[in-house]
């Protein structure tokens, strides 16, 4: 590639000036000089670096800073931190140098954005460790996470130039942690784009198909919306208030999620778009104007009483305020209408950063987000969680479908949707949770696992004889209740664990087994326990015996990868090993950078077949396992253990049959099952492993496990089956077990 240095320099300066123009309204005093200094340092530090796309590296920090200003609404401190966010990690500049020039606050933010260096212990997750480090700074300064989201958004926008396994890892990490985090901080526009980009890079054919269908329906949709809003506009004009009516299709990812969740095609997704009415009104009149608009909409169109959502009276945990209703249009189509004010709309799109603009005028609107940050700080103070446990608990704090309930004195409490009486007890106080034996919900006696509904009023019943037990963890869902129960159980377990630890060390010495972190990782996998704590507990309890330990000594992991103690499994190591075993196995899957043939197992959770988009995952004890990129476990594996992921691709097929499942739904008639099995076994000569059908009031549904050669073979079979009289739908399904 020929590089025109003069043109490149012009483009860099042009982008820098564009950033300054966008930041201008927020700049004060010395700000422009400080930004120029940060830009100069970043330019010099990254001068010889290029991105995978071939562009100068400085384009990236400039773009991240621009997203911070334009799409999140941040100011000078964040611009400087964004421009310098990679210099400590990727160049010789030290954090102390930046602290001397820009002060402690900016240095702290940059430190939060800098990945931890060095090799991680075998079995830990570098991704989880770095995420936890970043969040430690979040508890002091929210801007760390906002800049990180801007950084992630730009990386996702430019992911095209990355190799396939990196695309899968970054996309999965994004949907697993960053999109929910953007949602939790109220950054709706960024959340939506991250989700759509995730789908684009993990399942492009589906992404393209939905995008094309949205385009195809645009003209008819616009015509419909014009007719729908006409009478509403006429009435709003009489209100004598500034307003704007927008309509936009639902995001590609939300349409995809609905199709998958309800197992329906695109044509059956009825709420493809939403109409948004935004009114400009003084703060004190916001509520009354929104309800007036609601009244106008429902005068013309009949509302669905089950679909009214009032997030103006009780805002969501991320500060989101809006009035949602779903109404029936004149042509029998359901339409979602969102009603909000200009302030509410800005907060809905730009989230946390937009709150500061209104903080002095509306203190209550900050409270839910502040409460959430308090919870994050509490979680961060708990030092005994592994990074993976921490990420798991943190994710529990992110998903904010909520239920609003009341104490006996009428105090409002917000809990995650699906929370039980026991969750509520722990929300009040740890001691009340620990002694909870039941509750009165709306004056009726209920057990501790009773699921709460919006508006419930709860009184907790306690007993001094009650003690926390393992069963409680099965039905509480709030991170606070889970962590407190784990703490209570750990207290009881600690003595047993200490004893178990002594026994294990003694026995390992006798059996001449070296105590390394890799050995512990293999032992945890062998005994199927999640942590060293649990391993010691089981030994202390006697459920893992000396004979079991002898069996472990005789057990040899089937992984072809012999890693040394304290060495992290990374892609390069794996690919070197693959080169050594080149040509040893006759099979049809190519793995690794050089696309070699190597031993593997097919994951039972998603039963991949030739033609599927797949990746390899290096397990601790079972060698390489092959998963579909759409596997139910893929996101978590890629997000937490990206360093164990390797490329895998099917090559030209031999006549090998692979087991897969089909779900068939239709209207029942005599001879239907016979016709279905004829198509499978006689016409297409496909072997079946099992066939299970049931009928209910004239509707039949069945599951067939059968052997096919590849995805083309499977598609041909599905097309044939759909032509059988009475068959309405045929879909592939996964076995959905959790074997990874």
Kindly report, residue by residue over 623-643, the tens digit of the pLDDT: 788 888 888 888 888 887 777
Count of CB atoms situated within 10 Å of the CB of 199: 22
Q: C-alpha angle with apex 369: 367 to 371, nearest 5 degrees?
A: 65
Residue 414 has pLDDT above 70, yes or no: yes
- Which one is catalytic: 8, 11, 55, 90? 90
Which of 264, 172, 128 is CA-nearest to residue 632? Answer: 172
Give the C-alpha separation, 496 to 471, whole Å.
19
pLDDT band at 229 (very low <50, low <70, confident <90, very high): very high
**Confidence at residue 368, expressed as pLDDT on a 0 to 100 scale:** 61
Tell me which residue has tokens 């709003």.
Answer: 236
pLDDT band at 231 (very low <50, low <70, confident <90, very high): very high
pLDDT band at 372 (very low <50, low <70, confident <90, very high): low
Give the C-alpha separation, 289 to 281, whole Å.
8
Give the C-alpha separation, 257 to 203, whole Å.
13
Task: Please enumerate in sequence order all residues whose Cβ is within 8 A of that of 541, keeping only pairs 6 or more positions apart, or say none.
Answer: 496, 500
Q: Is 577 left (phi over 0), alpha (psi -120 to 50) or beta?
A: alpha
Residue 17 has pLDDT above 60, yes or no: yes
Per cent of the chain over pLDDT 90 is: 24
Q: What are phi and psi of 40, to 5 degrees?
A: -60, -45
Q: What are phi and psi of 533, to 5 degrees?
A: -55, -50
Give the C-alpha separation, 387 to 623, whole Å.
24
Residue 564 has pLDDT above 70, yes or no: no
Rounded mean pLDDT, 564-592: 46
- Residue 608 and residue 626 in contact, taking contact as beta carbons nearer than 8 Å: yes
Compute CA distances 68 → 11, 31, 212, 394, whole Å: 20, 16, 31, 24
Using a 10 angstrom Cβ sphere, with 0-12 exposed, 13-18 middle and 19 or more buried, the burial of residue 284 is exposed
Residue 97 has pLDDT above 90, yes or no: no
pLDDT band at 41 (very low <50, low <70, confident <90, very high): very high
User: Catalytic annotation on 570?
Assistant: no
Give the C-alpha separation, 155 to 152, whole Å.
5
- Which one is catalytic: 44, 89, 431, 683? 89
Which of 248, 250, 274 is CA-nearest to residue 338? Answer: 274
Q: What is the dihedral of CA 620, 621, 626, 627, to 10 degrees?
A: -60
Rounded mean pLDDT, 245-270: 87
Count of CB atoms situated within 10 Å of the CB of 432: 15
Rounded mean pLDDT, 444-462: 90
User: Catalytic annotation on 193?
Assistant: no
Which of 147, 66, 69 is CA-nearest to residue 105? Answer: 147
Rounded mean pLDDT, 169-185: 85
**Confidence at residue 253, expressed as pLDDT on a 0 to 100 scale:** 94
CATH number among 3.30.70.260, 3.40.50.720, 3.10.620.30, 3.80.30.20, domain 658-733:
3.30.70.260
Task: Please enumerate in sequence order all residues whose Cβ is within 8 A of that of 175, keeping only pairs 6 or more positions apart, or say none.
Answer: 194, 195, 198, 635, 639
More confident residue, 245 or 580: 245
Task: Please enumerate in sequence order all residues whose Cβ is within 8 A of that of 226, keeping only pairs 6 or more positions apart, or say none.
Answer: none
- Residue 336 and residue 329 in contact, taking contact as beta carbons nearer than 8 Å: no
Q: What are phi and psi of 567, to 5 degrees?
A: -105, 130
Residue 429 has pLDDT above 50, yes or no: yes
- Helix, strand, coil percent values for the chain (each to nearest 5): 50, 15, 30
- Residue 412 and residue 367 in contact, taking contact as beta carbons nearer than 8 Å: no
pLDDT band at 200 (very low <50, low <70, confident <90, very high): very high
- Outline which parts of the chain fall under CATH 1.10.3210.10: 5-207
pLDDT band at 488 (very low <50, low <70, confident <90, very high): confident
CATH number among 3.40.600.10, 3.40.50.300, 3.40.630.10, 1.10.3210.10, domain 5-207:
1.10.3210.10
E strand map for 68-111: none
Among positive and negative, which fits the CA dihedral 534, 535, 536, 538? positive
Q: What are phi and psi of 238, to 5 degrees?
A: -75, -20
Q: Is 479 left (phi over 0), alpha (psi -120 to 50) or beta?
A: alpha
- Outline which parts of the chain fall under CATH 3.30.70.260: 658-733
- Residue 294 and residue 323 in contact, taking contact as beta carbons nearer than 8 Å: yes
Buried b (16+ CB within 10 A) or exposed e, 68-107: bbebbbbbbbbbbbbbbbbbbeebebeeeebbeebeeebb
Residue 479, token pair as written in the block? 């991170």
**Model pTM score:** 0.67
DSSP calls for 434-492: HTEEEEEETTEEE-TTPBP-TT-BEEEEE-TT----TTHHHH--SHHHHHHHHHHHHHH
**Confidence at residue 201, expressed as pLDDT on a 0 to 100 scale:** 93
- Pairing outcome for strands 334-341 and 273-279: parallel
Compute CA distances 397 → 133, 483, 690, whole Å: 17, 12, 42
Rounded mean pLDDT, 656-674: 79
Residue 395 has pLDDT above 70, yes or no: no
**Confidence at residue 424, expressed as pLDDT on a 0 to 100 scale:** 95
What angle separates helix 31-45 from helix 95-102, to the nearest 10 degrees? 160
Average pLDDT of the chain is 80
Residues facing 661 on adjacent strands: 705, 733
Q: What is the DSSP letter of 308?
A: -
**Confidence at residue 566, expressed as pLDDT on a 0 to 100 scale:** 39
Give the C-alpha separation, 243 to 236, whole Å.
8
Q: What are phi and psi of 495, to 5 degrees?
A: -65, -45
Which helix (H) or strand (E) element contains residue 31? Answer: helix 31-45
pLDDT band at 397 (very low <50, low <70, confident <90, very high): low
Give the C-alpha separation, 309 to 291, whole Å.
12
Kindly report, residue by residue over 520-541, the tens digit of the pLDDT: 878 887 887 877 878 888 888 8
19-23, 166-170, 207-211, 696-700: least confidently modelled range: 696-700
- Residue 407 and residue 394 in contact, taking contact as beta carbons nearer than 8 Å: no
Tell me which residue has tokens 């004060």.
Answer: 28
294-303, 363-372, 635-644: least confidently modelled range: 363-372
399-403, 640-644, 712-716: least confidently modelled range: 399-403
Alpha helix stretches (DSSP H) within 140-285: 143-157, 164-173, 179-184, 188-202, 204-216, 218-239, 252-262
- Residue 668 and residue 661 in contact, taking contact as beta carbons nearer than 8 Å: no
Radius of gyration of the chain (CA): 29
Give the C-alpha separation, 626 to 607, whole Å.
9
Task: Please enumerate in sequence order all residues whose Cβ is within 8 A of that of 320, keeping only pairs 6 or more positions apart, or say none.
Answer: 186, 188, 311, 347, 348
Residue 362 has pLDDT above 70, yes or no: no
- Residue 627 and residue 564 in contact, taking contact as beta carbons nearer than 8 Å: no
Rounded mean pLDDT, 661-683: 79
pLDDT band at 152 (very low <50, low <70, confident <90, very high): very high
Q: What is the dihedral of CA 34, 36, 39, 43, to 10 degrees?
A: -130
């Amino acid at each position: 590639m020929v590089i025109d240095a003069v043109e490149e320099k012009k483009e860099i300066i042009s982008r820098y000036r564009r950033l300054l123009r966008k930041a201008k309204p927020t700049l004060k005093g010395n700000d422009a000089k400080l930004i120029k200094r940060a830009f100069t340092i970043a330019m010099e530090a990254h001068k010889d670096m290029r991105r995978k796309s071939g562009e100068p590296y400085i384009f990236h920090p400039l773009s991240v800073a621009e997203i911070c200003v334009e799409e999140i609404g941040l100011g000078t401190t964040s611009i400087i931190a964004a421009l310098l966010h990679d210099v400590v990690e990727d160049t010789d500049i030290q954090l102390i140098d930046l602290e001397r020039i820009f002060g402690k606050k900016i240095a702290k933010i940059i430190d939060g954005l800098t990945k931890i260096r060095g090799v991680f212990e075998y079995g830990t997750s570098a991704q989880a460790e770095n995420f936890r480090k970043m969040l430690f700074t979040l508890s002091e300064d929210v801007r760390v996470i906002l800049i990180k989201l801007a950084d992630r958004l730009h990386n996702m926008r430019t992911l095209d130039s990355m190799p396939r396994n990196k695309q899968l890892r970054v996309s999965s990490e994004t949907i697993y942690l960053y999109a929910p985090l953007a949602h939790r901080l109220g950054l709706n526009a960024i959340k939506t784009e991250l989700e759509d980009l995730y789908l684009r890079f993990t399942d492009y054919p589906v992404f393209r198909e939905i995008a094309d269908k949205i385009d195809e329906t645009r003209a008819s949709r616009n015509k419909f919306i014009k007719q729908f809003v006409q009478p509403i506009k006429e009435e709003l004009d009489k209100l004598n208030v500034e307003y704007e009516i927008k309509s936009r299709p639902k995001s590609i990812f939300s349409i995809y999620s609905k199709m998958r969740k309800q197992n329906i095609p695109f044509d059956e997704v009825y709420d493809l778009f939403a109409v948004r009415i935004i009114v400009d009104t003084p703060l004190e009149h916001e509520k009354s104007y929104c309800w007036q608009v609601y009244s106008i909409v429902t005068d013309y169109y009949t509302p669905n009483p089950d679909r009214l959502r009032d997030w103006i009276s009780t805002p969501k945990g991320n500060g989101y305020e809006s009035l949602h209703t779903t109404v029936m249009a004149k042509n029998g189509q359901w339409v979602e209408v969102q009603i909000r004010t200009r302030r509410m709309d800005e907060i809905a799109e730009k989230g946390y950063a937009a709150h500061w603009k209104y903080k002095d005028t509306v203190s209550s609107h900050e409270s839910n987000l502040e409460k959430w940050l308090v919870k994050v700080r509490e979680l961060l103070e708990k030092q005994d969680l592994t990074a993976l446990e921490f990420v798991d608990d943190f994710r529990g704090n992110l998903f904010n479908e909520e239920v609003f309930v009341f104490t006996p004195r009428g105090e409002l409490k917000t809990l995650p949707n699906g929370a039980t009486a026991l969750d509520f007890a722990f929300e009040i106080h740890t001691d009340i949770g620990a002694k909870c034996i039941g509750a009165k919900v709306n004056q009726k006696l209920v057990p501790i696992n009773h699921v709460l509904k919006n508006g419930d009023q709860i009184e907790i019943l306690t007993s001094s004889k009650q003690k926390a037990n393992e069963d409680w963890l099965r039905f509480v869902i709030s991170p606070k209740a889970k962590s407190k129960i784990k703490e209570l159980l750990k207290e009881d377990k600690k003595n047993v664990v200490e004893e178990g630890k002594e026994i294990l060390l003694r026995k390992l010495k006798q059996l001449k087994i070296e105590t390394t972190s890799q050995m512990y990782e293999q032992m945890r996998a062998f005994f199927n326990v999640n942590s060293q704590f649990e391993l010691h507990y089981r030994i202390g309890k006697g459920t893992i015996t000396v004979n079991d330990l002898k069996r472990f000594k005789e057990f040899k992991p089937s992984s072809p990868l012999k890693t040394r103690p304290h060495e992290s499994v990374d892609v390069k190591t794996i690919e070197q090993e693959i080169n050594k075993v080149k040509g040893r196995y006759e099979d049809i899957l190519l793995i690794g950078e050089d696309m070699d043939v190597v031993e593997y197992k097919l994951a039972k959770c998603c039963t991949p077949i030739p033609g599927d988009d797949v990746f390899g995952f290096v397990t601790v004890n079972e060698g390489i396992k092959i998963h579909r990129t759409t596997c139910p476990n893929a996101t978590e594996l890629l997000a937490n253990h990206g360093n164990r992921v390797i490329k895998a691709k099917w090559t030209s097929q031999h006549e090998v049959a692979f087991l897969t499942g089909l779900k068939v739904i239709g209207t029942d008639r005599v001879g239907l099952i016979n016709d279905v099995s004829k198509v499978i076994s006689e016409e297409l000569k496909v072997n079946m492993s099992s066939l299970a059908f049931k009928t209910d009031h004239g509707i039949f549904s069945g599951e067939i496990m059968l052997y096919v050669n590849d995805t083309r073979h499977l598609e041909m079979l599905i097309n044939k089956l759909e032509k059988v009289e009475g068959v309405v739908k045929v879909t592939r399904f996964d076995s959905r077990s959790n074997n990874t």
